Structure 1
Amino acid sequence: MQKIVLASGNRKKVAELTQLLAQFQLQVIPQTELNVEDVPETGTTFVENAIIKARHAAEVTGLPAIADDSGIEIDYLDGQPGIYSARFALCEGATEGGDQANNDLLLEKLQGVPQADRTARYQCVLVFMKHAKDPTPLICQGSWEGRILNEEVGDGGFGYDPLFWCEEHNCSAAQLTPEQKTAISHRGKALMELMHKLKESLA
Structure 2
Amino acid sequence: MTRRQLQPGRLVLATHNPGKVIELAELLEPHGLEIVSAGDLGLPEPEETGTTFIANAELKALAAATASGLPALADDSGLCVDSLGGAPGLYSARWAGPTKDFSIAMRRVRDEMPATAPDTVHFICALTLAWPDGHTESVEGRVDGRIAWPPRGANGFGYDPIFMMDGQFRTYGEMLRAEKESDNHRARAFAKLLTLLP
After TM superposition, is the score higher than 0.5?
yes
Q: Deviations over 1:42-72 (max 9, x none)?
A: 1111111100100000111100010000001
Correspondences of 1:124-135 after superposition (within 5 Å): 124-134=125-135
* Residue 185 (structure 2) aligns with: 186
Correspondences of 1:97-176 after superposition (within 5 Å): 97-110=100-113, 112-114=115-117, 117-134=118-135, 137-176=136-175
Q: Hey, what's the Cα distance between the residues in 1 that align with 2:53 and 2:145?
A: 19
TM-score (norm 2): 0.88
**Mind listing any 5+ residue stretches in structure 1 that lack a counterpart?**
none
Shift of 1:177: 1.0
SS at 1:180 equivalent: helix
* Residue 58 (structure 2) aligns with: 51
Are 1:73 and 2:74 counterparts? no
Q: Hey, what's the Cα distance between the residues in 2 that align with 1:155 and 1:33?
A: 26
Please tell me whether the aligned partners of residues 18 and 27 of structure 1 are also in contact (alpha carbons under 8 angstroms): no
Shift of 1:89: 5.2
* Residue 9 (structure 1) aligns with: 16
Shift of 1:7: 0.6
Alignment-mate amino acid for residue 25 of structure 1:
G
TM-score (norm 1): 0.86
Please tell me whether the aligned partners of residues 120 and 148 of structure 1 are also in contact (alpha carbons under 8 angstroms): yes
Greater relative contact order, per chain length (Cα 8 Å cut-off, separation 6+): 2
Alignment-mate amino acid for residue 129 of structure 1:
A
Q: Hey, what's the Cα distance between the residues in 2 that align with 1:113 and 1:149?
A: 15
SS at 2:132 equivalent: coil
Alignment-mate amino acid for residue 30 of structure 1:
S
Please tell me whether the aligned partners of residues 86 and 98 of structure 1 are also in contact (alpha carbons under 8 angstroms): no
SS at 2:92 equivalent: helix
Higher helix share: 1
Q: Hey, what's the Cα distance between the residues in 2 that align with 1:172 and 1:113?
A: 22
Report the count of equivalent residues: 191
**Mind listing any 5+ residue stretches in structure 2 that lack a counterpart?**
1-7
